[in-house]
Chain A
């Protein structure tokens, strides 16, 4: 029977390197995925994810009470990834507060759900779209990548995102909306739909399947 995280953490705290290695093996891919989503570059993501485990090892004693190891590890990872990106960036973060009207209109209606008719059982389609979304993620600005990854991979709530990113809850919601909208526009090519522009209500070009 596989040991649960808590017992592995306790053993690792006591100096059992084997227990810590088991945690590494268990979560290395998830940690890498979080890092990759934020930093984009695979080498940087590799480095960030290794460093996340190193820091976790150094601060195991700081993991309080019953806090989930993975949640804590994700927090370390995202901090490191965000730091890595900010070390390289040149421009200031956008301060996203309002949702411009035009952004709501472009892209037509239901460009993904309707034409692709996402069937939960259609694994090939899901995989392809998932791959497209990952590629589109790389084109998003840093602040949108960050918040999408934290929301989608870590599953953070609005409150948790606000706390993690040091912003107001309203800003979290706006920023997430902008991020998703931009993602949708980037995927519009894939769906064969003209991205942006004024809405032509009810009329959307469909891709040929």
Chain B
């Protein structure tokens, strides 16, 4: 790799971004290389202009409806999330085994137990299938942790 190729990625480093040794080596190279000096000058001369250009484009757009649109989205999101949070809060006070009546009657509650750790050194994977009223969910137990796969009936949007 020529020297220019080596130093090219360093040309627009800001103060402190290069280790002192590299910064010194870069400066020595720039002192000796007219091409890299010119290239660096070009880059530095145009720094900041891209930001100016994009901000100018943004300034040219009408943002009058923006805030209201954001708040409308916030309101929609909040109403969707309320259902999940309500269920989680309700569920907290009961055991996982007991049957519950969350707002989502079609919910599939799958409970997994942490089994004994497989023998060290032997990568093992144990496959389980757990069945609920709403389908079969697959759990792959590995040394690195469980992998939970949705069943064919899981994930329907309920509409």
Chain A residues with a Cβ under 8 A of chain B? 17, 20-21, 24-25, 28-30, 32-34, 36-37, 42, 46, 49-51, 53-54, 57-58, 98-101, 104-105, 109-114, 118, 126-127, 129-134, 137, 148-149, 152-153, 157-159, 170, 173-174, 176-177, 180, 183-184, 199, 201-202
Contact = CB atoms under 8 A, between A and B. Distances in A.
Contacts, number: 156
30 contacts: A24-B71, A25-B63, A29-B58, A30-B58, A32-B58, A32-B61, A33-B51, A50-B66, A58-B77, A99-B5, A99-B9, A101-B5, A104-B4, A104-B35, A104-B36, A109-B38, A109-B39, A113-B45, A129-B49, A131-B56, A132-B53, A152-B51, A153-B50, A158-B13, A173-B9, A176-B9, A177-B12, A184-B43, A199-B35, A202-B34
Contacts of A57: 70, 74
Contacts of A109: 34-35, 38-39, 42
B73 A54 contact: yes
Interface residues of B, number: 47
A157 B14 contact: yes
A130 B49 contact: yes
A110 B42 CA distance: 5
Q: Is the interface of B mostly helix, strand, loop or mixed?
A: helix
Contacts of A104: 4-5, 8, 35-36, 39
From B42, B44, B45, residue with most partner A Cβ within 10 Å: B42
Contact of B59 (A29, A46, A199): A29
